[in-house]
Amino acid sequence: MKLPEFRDLDLSIARARIALSLIAMLSLYIDPSTAGGLFHLNVYALTTLLCHLAYSVGMYLALSRSFADGNLQVLSISLDLFFATAVAFITEGQTSASYVFFVFAIVAAGNRAKSRPIVTVTFLSVALYLLVIFLTKGLTSVYDMRAVYLAIAGYLIGFFSEQRALFEAQLRELETRAERQSIARSLHDGYVQALAGVNLRLETCRALLKRNQPQDALLEITDLQTGVAREYDAVRIYLRSLAGIEQSPAVELGARASDPGFEVRAAFSGRSLLGEHILQIMLEGLRNARSHGLANLVRIDVHEADDKVSITIEDDGVGLSDSSSRPWAIASRVAELAGHMSIHSDGSTRLQIELPNS
């Protein structure tokens, strides 16, 4: 499967292929050295370039509609080489556009910054170019050195593609390190300090209880519970920001949550890792209903059916206002397990989850 981050790059190459076709057609049309002279394009060259233009547009449409896969990439490279060879047969001369078509095929093959496709396409381009020269001019032609220059161009393209890949890998590593440092500082300066404060206040509660002052200890614990709830909400907001999830306007820091009742029916079996994920999903469902849904009752049902585990989490709360309120923590676990999740929200919330039990 093609990685999502390459889609825009593939579309850019497809647009460049269309531009190459149009520019080549125009340049051959105004080239006075071609057969027929200035402002003339013979029928063979016109037919070949029109076919190349149709192929370029078709490839762009296929990529824009997410039809791309490994077979389509191989097909595009093969057709690039085919049209480069055809243009060389028809227009070979001092100002032939075929050289540009071969170079484009090498560049398009190297769009993944991998050296093997570039080497393979460069070798095929040189071999096909030499074949064209042999069949049209003979191997003692003045055009022989163009094959050497084509090989040099392929080497340079491969070299710079590999260097770019190394540079991007180093850049990503530096960015990752910087992000980790930023997260570590945030955790240390914020939440670690808050935990230290909680520990000190708990020690105060112990001292009050030892001095037989339970009312003062109770007040301290109540105030501490409010502070912990506030820090808990802050951590959730921070984690959502790290995950790139927009915070729902309805969720306010420090807002008091409801304390709904719950009903749980569960009967399933499987691997321990799957069980851990299911328990965490159930726990997160309860937390969401309490903190965001303002529910009075939460029902959770888990059962096995056809090699799948079905999870239903339903509450009578305020529901979800829009898609930005999706329970991303649950959704990420479902995606990790290659499961499926659907949400129904019409005054209440119902999550239906199916996970493969394998």
| 334-344 per-position pLDDT tens digit | 888 888 888 88
Confidence of residue 310 (pLDDT cuts 50, 70, 90): very high
Helix axes 193-210, 214-242, angle to 10 degrees: 170
The neighbouring-strand residues paired with 304 are 309
pLDDT (0 to 100) of residue 250: 46
Which has more pLDDT, 259 or 58? 58
Which has more pLDDT, 66 or 306? 306
Rounded to an integer, the average pLDDT of 272-291 is 84
Confidence of residue 67 (pLDDT cuts 50, 70, 90): low
% of the chain with per-residue pLDDT over 90: 11
What's the helix, strand, coil split of the chain in %, to 5?
65, 10, 25
The neighbouring-strand residues paired with 340 are 354
% of the chain with per-residue pLDDT over 70: 82
The mean-pLDDT minimum among 28-32, 138-142, 223-227, 345-349 falls in 138-142
pLDDT (0 to 100) of residue 57: 93
CA distance 219 to 153: 78
DSSP characters over 263-301: EEEEE----HHHHHHHHHHHHHHHHHHHHTS--SEEEEE
pLDDT (0 to 100) of residue 38: 64
Contact 258, 288 (CB under 8 A): no
> Per mean pLDDT, which of 13-27, 59-73, 223-237 is the most reliable?
13-27
Which has more pLDDT, 253 or 325? 325
Mean pLDDT, the chain, rounded, equals 80
Rounded to an integer, the average pLDDT of 296-306 is 89
Give the pLDDT confidence of 89-124 residue by residue, as tens digits: 887 655 577 788 888 888 888 776 566 788 888 899
Burial of residue 120 (CB within 10 Å: 0-12, 13-18, 19+) is middle
Please say if the pLDDT value at position 2 is more than 50: no
The mean-pLDDT minimum among 185-189, 283-287, 297-301 falls in 185-189
Please say if the pLDDT value at position 213 is more than 60: yes
Give the pLDDT confidence of 165-190 residue by residue, as tens digits: 888 889 889 888 888 887 887 777 67
pLDDT (0 to 100) of residue 332: 75
Task: State the pairing for strand pair 308-315/349-356.
Answer: antiparallel
Q: What is the pTM of this model?
A: 0.52
pLDDT (0 to 100) of residue 51: 93
Q: What phi, psi does 90 have (nearest 5°)?
A: -85, -35
Rounded to an integer, the average pLDDT of 271-292 is 84
